[in-house]
Amino acid sequence: MKRIRILLADDHAVVRQGFKMILDAQADMETVGEAANGREAVELAEQLRPDVVVMDVSMPELNGIEATRRLASSAPRVRVIALSMHKDSVYVREILRAGARGYLLKDSGAADLVAAIRAVASGESYLSPAVSNAVLDDYRRQATNPIDLLTSREREVLQLLAEGKTNKEIAGVLNLSVYTVEAHRGRILEKLNLHSIGELVRFAVRNGMIE
């Protein structure tokens, strides 16, 4: 029997260990890698080519939404299940728009996790029962979003700015010059029609980029 190969992406090691125990106990599943943030998740998924990535939505530096968006481009055969404690429509909407095939609440039971992975691995979709039809209706109504105006790098800079990092700190994280980061920041504010870091933070929260 061919096993479903799974990559776990969550910034809490205890969560990853718990999931790994559950999944590796299944005859048809194996955990092939673990990532502590979105950037690691993308790199490992491109390298290992798992069948399914269980992706925490809220991770530092590069969140699960942006990581999912990148994987949809660089490794389209890898299927993503979003993992979140949030039932809010914005989180569901943004991660599904990014390319996730499932959405699992963190308070779900082990049976739900296993069912979600089997469903998504076989080409189906999966949503936690507690995620209501109203959320799906909201997702369908959102045809466009200003965040689509941003490049992948700009979305990355946006998250780091919203997390409170300075231009110099962002330059260090992304291996860019401070001048390049300043240019990105200016374009982000212009494209989103924002006028302060406070507005930028609120935009990031509304779009599920930070909590």
Confidence (pTM):
0.70
Segment 3-23, tens digit of pLDDT: 999 999 999 999 999 999 999
Taking residue 190's Cβ as centre, other Cβ atoms within 10 Å add up to 11
- The percent of residues in the chain predicted with pLDDT above 70, rounded, is 94
User: What domains does the chain contain, in order, with CATH numbers?
Assistant: 4-141 (3.40.50.2300), 146-206 (1.10.10.10)
Segment 66-94, tens digit of pLDDT: 999 999 999 999 999 999 888 777 778 78
The pLDDT value given to residue 185 = 93
Segment 166-185, tens digit of pLDDT: 999 999 999 999 999 999 99
The pLDDT value given to residue 190 = 87
